[in-house]
Structure 1
């Protein structure tokens, strides 16, 4: 079955280029040229993933993402201006799963989408009874949810992946290179702060009063400490 992608981009030439490339790579593509149309299609269509430009003519892509996150955990990849780190940070805080700077390489976009979709599909195949508990956290792979004191954490698809990898190796150091590959499906590149941003969001969502829960091990990676 084809993966269904919603492409929200106001630059018609770029949108058509990406849509054509995605279609040639086996994706079923739906398009929107502004934020309101993209938001309506994302809510109405049974799509698997969204590619969302931040700079849109009516409402911003970040506002589209905010409204989507109020209703769905649908994976979202942002298209951001190259070098604009502020947009990327805010995007992750709002709930983006990944980003690609513009002008983007269509081949890289496809690789990012396929990696994210593989991670989602892998966890959806998990057994219903394969829940695991780590202190006050409970992982329910079949639901792709993590609960803290029986309350569901509001995690993006990528935040879920990062946290469940750290939990699976609780008490041990997970190297950044390994965490990037296992959770995001790609190699760690120089100056790529994507993983750091996801960790920052997870610390905030897990409760900022316990910053040592996810410990930074300088020069190596991160370690999850199960609270006593």
Structure 2
């Protein structure tokens, strides 16, 4: 295995913070911690983590603001912990740069699996589309640089949004089921969690244009190649 990956755990409840930290450390990760919003931003700058586990409800700055600030400095995968399974809250998190979310209470085993999946996706992301620029009717994707333009405007996508777009762009016009996207983008082999796909598609549409991603009800999604 290569270099040990570093995880920043941001949770204001000491018991939960400790439990998450211990479990991730036992899984082989180098774990650093923070207990409030300002501390999270400072620790992010100091430790340069590979992935962040971030609670929404924090003193000082909430998780959404922390996510916004760290993503403005350096794109990094973020797993957000939410207290309520509320779609509006989830979409706010995705809009400011979160890649995935878990609703409390959660199983530690699932949290570790989500962190591992986020890191695997970063490592293999550019394999979905050959390096270089792909132009799909004014939507340009540079897989190697992980940059996207809609017309003349560059669009900032989270790592997960970018991976989702790459997968859809690899088969333009082809309808991909939610289950297939969940397996190939999120690296979750089961059929559960399709709401995660729907939330990320909604966030992606808000950035590249609603008409760009076509919904086939009861089946899945397809990337349209032109306006």
Same fold (TM over 0.5): yes
Task: State the Cα deviation string for residues 73-111 of structure 1 (Å, max 9, x = none).
Answer: 111110111433332222112221000111221111111
CA distance in 1, matches of 2:217, 2:130: 37
Task: State the Cα deviation string for residues 189-213 of structure 1 (Å, max 9, x = none).
Answer: 26x5221121111111113xxx332
CA distance in 2, matches of 1:61, 1:98: 13
Runs of 4+ in 1 over 6 A off after TM superposition: 125-128
Q: How much does 1:175 deviate?
A: 0.9
CA distance in 1, matches of 2:20, 2:217: 39
Aligned with residue 49 of structure 2, among 47, 50, 63: 47
RMSD over aligned CA atoms reads 2.0
CA distance in 2, matches of 1:104, 1:31: 19
* Structure 2 residue aligned with 1:212: 211
Q: How much does 1:150 deviate?
A: 5.4
Question: Which sections of structure 2, spanning at least 5 residues, go unmatched?
Answer: none
What TM-score, normalized by structure 1, do the two folds share? 0.90
Q: 1:188 to 1:90 in 2, by over 3 A?
A: farther
Partner-residue secondary structure (3-state), 1:171: coil
Q: Is the 8 A contact 1:97 1:159 kept in 2?
A: yes
Q: Is the 8 A contact 2:9 2:17 kept in 1?
A: yes
Q: How much does 1:54 deviate?
A: 0.7
Are residues 1:116 and 2:127 paired? Answer: no
Q: 1:218 to 1:84 in 2, by over 3 A?
A: closer
CA distance in 1, matches of 2:53, 2:122: 16
Aligned with residue 172 of structure 1, among 165, 171, 174: 174
What TM-score, normalized by structure 2, do the two folds share? 0.90
Q: Is the 8 A contact 2:173 2:224 kept in 1?
A: yes
CA distance in 1, matches of 2:85, 2:42: 30
CA distance in 2, matches of 1:195, 1:127: 20
Partner-residue secondary structure (3-state), 1:70: helix
CA distance in 2, matches of 1:213, 1:32: 39
Q: Is the 8 A contact 1:9 1:53 kept in 2?
A: yes
Q: Is the 8 A contact 1:180 1:195 kept in 2?
A: yes
Q: How much does 1:59 deviate?
A: 1.6
* Structure 1 residue aligned with 2:100: 98
Task: State the Cα deviation string for residues 1-41 of structure 1 (Å, max 9, x = none).
Answer: 11100000111111111111101101000000111100111
Q: How much does 1:46 deviate?
A: 1.9
Partner-residue secondary structure (3-state), 1:77: strand
1:112-191 → structure 2 map (5 Å cutoff): 112-123=114-125, 129-149=131-151, 151-186=153-188, 187-189=190-192
Q: Is the 8 A contact 2:128 2:167 kept in 1?
A: no
> How many residues align structurally?
224
Q: 1:206 to 1:119 in 2, by over 3 A?
A: same
Q: How much does 1:58 deviate?
A: 1.9
